[in-house]
Structure 1
Amino acid sequence: MSSIPKTGDFLGHPKGLFLLFGTEMWERFSYYGMRAILVLYLVDLVERGGLGFTRGDALSLYGTFTMLVYLTPLIGGWLADNVLGQRKSIIIGGLLMALGQFTLGTPHEFVAGFEIEMFYAGLALLICGNGLFKPNISTMVGDLYKDGDHRRDGAFTIFYMGINLGAAIAPIVVGTIAEKVAWQYGFVAAGVGMIISVIMIYTLGNKYLGNIGVVPAAVVSKANSKSDKKEPLTKEERDRIKVIFIMSAFTIIFWAGFEQAGGLMNIFANDYTDRMIGAFEVPASWFQSVNAIFIVMFAPIIATIWVKMGPNEPTSPVKFAFGMFFLAIGFLFMIGATMQQGGDVTVKTSMSWLIFAYLFHTLGELCLSPIGLSMVSKLAPMRLASMLMGIWFLFTAMANKVAAFVGSFIGEGADSVDNAMAIFAGIAITATVSGIVLYLISGKLVDWMHGAEGNTEHTEEENLEEELEITATR
C-alpha cells in the first residue's frame, strides 16, 4: 500500500506533484526536442553534419522509430508492474534515453566510419528507455491522493501543463541549437534535459513521493485479489470490446494524418516555407512547438465546452468524427500551400498555411485524444483492461508507420510539390469519408456500449478534469 509523505503542500497540492510535473516536463523536452530535428538531421547533407538520407528513407525510418516508441511501453509497463516497480523503471528508462541522446550527439569525427551504427544504437537506446519511462509516471500522480480527495482533479491539469510546457519549449531550444550551431549539439541539449529529469526523480523521490511507485503493482494486486477464477465474457462485454476495436481502427486514419507533423510537414517547413521575419530566419523545427502551444491554449476551452453542453454533449464516436473533419480542414490549408507554389519547387509559401494547418489538427486532436483512452477505460472489462489499453497503443503504433509510408511518396525533385498536394488531398478525403462513416454508425456504437456512455454522475469540475487528464498522456 502506498504511503503518501507529509511534506506539506504547494499551491494546495502535495509537493510530490510538482516533482512529477518537473520530471515529466524535462522528459518531454528531451523527446520532443529530438523529434523536432530527427528528420531534418537525416535529410541534411553529410558535409553539413547530416546523414544524407533521401526523404523517403528518412520518413520511413522516422515512422519505424515512432511506431516502436508506442510499442515498447507495453513491455515496459509489464516490467514495471511485475518486476521493477514504477520508480525504478522511470530512472532506468531515463538513463537509457539520456544515453541514447548523447549517442546521437556524438560528433561524426569521433566515430568516423561508424556514424550510421552509432545513430541506430542511439535510437535503440531511446526506444528501450521510452518503453520503461512513458507508461509509468502519469499513473503515479493519482497515487499522491487518497480516495475521495477532490484535489486529484486539479492535479492532472497541473501535470498536463508540464507535459505541454516541455513539448512547447523543446523544439525552440533544441531546434535553434541544432540548426544554428550543429545537429549533434541539439541531441546533446535534449540529453541534458533527460539528465535533469532523472536527477530530479532520483534525488527527491523518497522525500516527496515516499514509497509511491516502489512496489510493483502486480505484488499489490495479488495481495488484494480474492479469487483467481476467470469468468467468460458476457454479451455486453463482447459488444463493448467490439466498440474499442472499431474506434481504434479509425484512429489509424487520424494519427496517420496528424503524425505528418514530425515528418512530411517538417520537411515542407524546411524546404518550401518562407521562414523569414525581417532579417531573421525562423528555424524549421520551431513549427513543432505550435501544436503544444495550441493545446495549452485550447484544451481547457474545448473541455469546458463539452462539460457546459451537459446532456447535449456529443457521444464519443461523434467527437471522433469531429476530429476527422478538423484533420481534413487542416490539410486543406496544406493544399493551399502547394497551390501557392504552382508546381514550382523554388517557390516558398507563407508560414500561415502551416500554422492554420496545425491549429485545426490540434482541434481535431482535442476532439479525439482526450476521450479515446477514457473510452477504453470505461468499456474494457477490468480483467482485460491492460491488454485492451495495449491494443489501443498498438493501433497508434501502426498509425505512425502508416504516416511515414504515406509521407514518403513526396519523393525528390520537380515532382515533389505535386506529390505533396496529392498526399495532402488524399489524407483530407480519407479523413472526411471516415468522419462521415463514424457519424453514421455512432448510434450503433453507443448501443454496443450498453450505458457506459454518460451513465455516471459527476460534478462539472470532475467531468472537465476527465478530459484534461487523458489529454496529459500525449
Structure 2
Amino acid sequence: MSHNSSGTLLGHPKGLFLLFGTELWERFSYYAMRAILVLYLTDKTINGGLGWTTEEALNLYGIYTGLVYFTPLIGGWIADNILGQRRSIIIGGVLMAIGQFTLALPHSVVDPHAVTAFYIGLAFLIVGNGLFKPNISTMVGDLYPEGDNRRDGAFTIFYMGINIGSLLAGVIAGTASAVYGWKAGFLCAGVGMLMSLLIQVFFAQRYLGDIGTVPAAVRDAEKNASGKKEPLTKIERDRLKVILVMCTFVIVFWAGFEQAGGLMNIYSQEYTNRMIGDFEVPAAWFQSLNPFFIIICAPILAALWVRMGKSEPNSPVKFALAMFSLALGFACMIGAALEQNGDVTVKTSMMWLVGAYFFHTIGELCLSPIGLSMVTKLAPLRLASLMMGAWFGANAIANYIAGVVGASIGEAGPLAIFSGIAITAVIAGVLLLLFSNKLISWMHGAEGAVDNDDNQPKPQTANA
C-alpha cells in the first residue's frame, strides 16, 4: 500500500493535520454533548430538562459512555474486514450527526415523545461512534512506516486536536445551554460533527492518498505469498498479551477519571462555590479544565521525555505514573469532602476541583497518547483497527464502572468514593512497576529492549 505524497508540515505528513482537524471537530461534538448530558437529565426547571434523579442520570451516563467505548470493538472489525477505515469514518460521522440533531429537536417538558427521541439520538451516536473512533486513530499510525520515530510525536499532536475540541466544547456548549437552553448545546454538538464530516469528505483523498481505503485484512493477505491469512507468530501473540494486560490497568484509570463527566460534574453544580465576584462560573465550564491543562502541559511533558533520553521511562512505568497522578487528583477531592464535613449545604472551594483536574490531566498524558501509540506499534496489521477497538473496549468497561460508582454516592457518600478510587489507583500503580520488565520483554524490541528472537536492539522513541 502506498503512502500519501502530499508533503510534510512541521516534519509530519500533512495527512496528520487532516486527521487532527477531523478528530478535533468530532471530539468537540462528543464533549459538547457530554458536558451537558447529566445536567440536562437532572434539570427540573423551565429550561427543558427531563427532571431525572441524580442516580438515574448517572446510571444512564455510565451505560451510554460504556456503549460509546464498546462499539469501536465491532466497528474496528468491520473496518478491518469489510469497509476499510475511510468509509467507516464517513458512515459513522453521518450517523453521529443525525444523533446530535435528534437530541437538539425541541420539545416541551410534558411531551411524551421527548424521552423516546432522546434515546433514538443516543442510539445513533453509539453506533456511529463505533465506526468512527477506532479507525481515525489507526490511520494516524498508518501515516508512518514501521520504526519511524515520529509516530509517538504524531500521537501527541493528534491528542492536542482532541483536547482543543474538548476545550471549545465545554465553553461553547455550556454557554449556549446557559443562555438559550439545553437544546442549543446539543445543536452546537451537531454543527461540530458536520464540520468534522466536511473536512474528511473534501480533503481526505488529497492528503491521505489511499490510506484507509482498503480493509486491513485484504492488505495483509496481499502481502503473503499464499494470499491467505497466516497464523499469529509467537512475537505477535506476546505483543497482543501486552495490549490486553495494559487494557486491564486502563480500566482502573478511566473508571476514576470518568467521574469528571458524572460525579464531579454534579459536585461542581451542587456543592462548589462557583462565584468569582458577582459572576457565577457555569458548571459545564469545569469540563474545559482538563483539555486546557493538556494543551499547556503536553508540550512540556513531551520535551521532558526527550530531555531524559535513555533514562526516559517505558510505557508500563508511565502508566504507573498515571495511576499515582489519578490518586493525587482524588486526594484533592477528599479535601473537598472533608471541607464539607458531611454538611450538604456547605459550598466548597473550586480550587479543589481545579487541583483534581490538573493531576488527572498529568495522569492522562502519561497514559492515553502513549497507549494509542503503543497499540499501533504492537498490533499485527490485520488486527490493527480491531485492537484499537479493544483498547477503547477497556474504556467501555471503565465508563460503566464509573457510572455505577458515581451513582452510589447517595449510599456511600463522596468521601468514601474519592478515598476508594485513590487507594485502588495507588495499588494499580505499584503492580505496574513490579511487572514492567516482563511486559517490556513481551514487546520484543518495540520499546527499545533487545529482541531475544533476533538479537536486534531497537531505539526507544519519545512516547509523550
**Within 5 A, what are the aligned runs for 1:38-53?**
38-45=37-44, 47-53=46-52
Structure 1 position 245, deviation (Å): 3.4
Structure 1 position 63, deviation (Å): 1.0
Partner of 1:436 in structure 2?
430
Partner of 2:34 in structure 1?
35
2:79 aligned partner, one-letter code: A
Which residue of the other structure, out of 418, 422, 437, is the alignment partner of 1:424? Answer: 418
**Within 5 A, what are the aligned runs for 1:177-192?**
177-192=176-191
Q: 1:184 to 1:202 in 2, by over 3 A?
A: same
- In structure 1, distance between residues paired with 2:66 and 2:432: 25
Partner of 1:4 in structure 2?
4
**Within 5 A, what are the aligned runs for 1:34-433?**
34-45=33-44, 47-109=46-108, 112-141=111-140, 143=142, 155-227=154-226, 228=228, 230-231=230-231, 234=234, 241-379=240-378, 387-411=386-410, 419-433=413-427
Determine if contact 2:168/2:288 at 8 Å carries over to the other structure.
yes
TM-score normalised by L of structure 1: 0.87
Determine if contact 1:71/1:131 at 8 Å carries over to the other structure.
yes
Determine if contact 2:217/2:381 at 8 Å carries over to the other structure.
no
- In structure 1, distance between residues paired with 2:364 and 2:33: 22
- In structure 2, distance between residues paired with 1:162 and 1:209: 18
Determine if contact 1:333/1:353 at 8 Å carries over to the other structure.
yes
Structure 1 position 403, deviation (Å): 0.7
- In structure 1, distance between residues paired with 2:34 and 2:444: 40
- In structure 2, distance between residues paired with 1:375 and 1:75: 20
- In structure 1, distance between residues paired with 2:13 and 2:394: 35
When structure 1 is superposed on structure 2, of 9-18 and 63-72 the one drifting more is 9-18
Determine if contact 2:253/2:326 at 8 Å carries over to the other structure.
yes
Determine if contact 1:260/1:403 at 8 Å carries over to the other structure.
yes
**What is the CA deviation profile of residues 395-424 of structure 1, one whole-angstrom value per residue up to 9, with x for unaligned ones?**
22111111110110112xxx7xx7011110
- In structure 2, distance between residues paired with 1:315 and 1:143: 23
- Aligned residues between the structures: 456
Where in structure 1 are there 5+ consecutive unaligned residues? 469-474
Structure 1 position 322, deviation (Å): 1.9
When structure 1 is superposed on structure 2, of 110-119 and 12-21 the one drifting more is 12-21
1:312 aligned partner, one-letter code: S
**What is the CA deviation profile of residues 350-400 of structure 1, one whole-angstrom value per residue up to 9, with x for unaligned ones?**
111001001111111222223334444555566666555443332221111
Partner of 2:452 in structure 1?
none
Structure 1 position 138, deviation (Å): 3.1
RMSD: 2.9
Secondary structure of 2:345's match? coil
Secondary structure of 1:300's match? helix
Q: 1:321 to 1:15 in 2, by over 3 A?
A: closer
Secondary structure of 1:23's match? helix
Determine if contact 2:151/2:373 at 8 Å carries over to the other structure.
no
Partner of 2:453 in structure 1?
none
**What is the CA deviation profile of residues 149-206 of structure 1, one whole-angstrom value per residue up to 9, with x for unaligned ones?**
8876765444332222111111100111112320011000110111111122223333
Determine if contact 1:5/1:207 at 8 Å carries over to the other structure.
no
Q: 1:144 to 1:324 in 2, by over 3 A?
A: closer
Secondary structure of 2:408's match? helix
Determine if contact 1:97/1:194 at 8 Å carries over to the other structure.
yes
Structure 1 position 75, deviation (Å): 1.9
**What is the CA deviation profile of residues 213-240 of structure 1, one whole-angstrom value per residue up to 9, with x for unaligned ones?**
3333333333222243644764x66655
Where in structure 2 are there 5+ consecutive unaligned residues? 450-456
- In structure 1, distance between residues paired with 2:232 and 2:78: 27
- In structure 2, distance between residues paired with 1:347 and 1:269: 12
Q: 1:376 to 1:19 in 2, by over 3 A?
A: closer
- In structure 2, distance between residues paired with 1:27 and 1:334: 30
TM-score normalised by L of structure 2: 0.88
Determine if contact 1:335/1:425 at 8 Å carries over to the other structure.
yes
**What is the CA deviation profile of residues 408-465 of structure 1, one whole-angstrom value per residue up to 9, with x for unaligned ones?**
0112xxx7xx701111011111212222233334344445555554225448xxx23x
2:323 aligned partner, one-letter code: M
